[in-house]
Chains A and B, each alone.
Chain A
């Protein structure tokens, strides 16, 4: 199985901050990586797929980069609606999720 490791597990930030979350794969997943945002009691929402493609309707302050084993999700200017938990997902071989990164208010 491909293991996905996110860092940090928790991130404290303020509105307007630039935020970066990292996701590392235990072996190469090429660019077959997606990012999701989840708020309490809700289903995850797709933000980015194929490592860097923004899903339709997702604000442009979200961006993704990377390939192979290391990926990043960046929020260029954190907004109040962005406080949530973020997950990466590899889909090169079946599917595996990262353990999540909670973005909380500083």
Chain B
């Protein structure tokens, strides 16, 4: 069925390096994708989004890439900092007439000092 999934459940990165978190989606009709960050004990926070008419979008230290050909989404975090430690979720909007977001399982990002 339709789903959004993450390739790696846990990602360990050296502080200062770049992080890349991947996400696969299965519905080619999806037109809106969002990345969220969830720190321990908190609700998910919006990081960045991208619509299907784009293939790249940049924010502050973050970049989201969308490859519609292979139905793949990635979040790149530049110069990873200890504060980036969190679980990252991708979400996909499937327009079924009711605008429901479909969530991936999450990737835990661990920063090594």
A, B bound? no
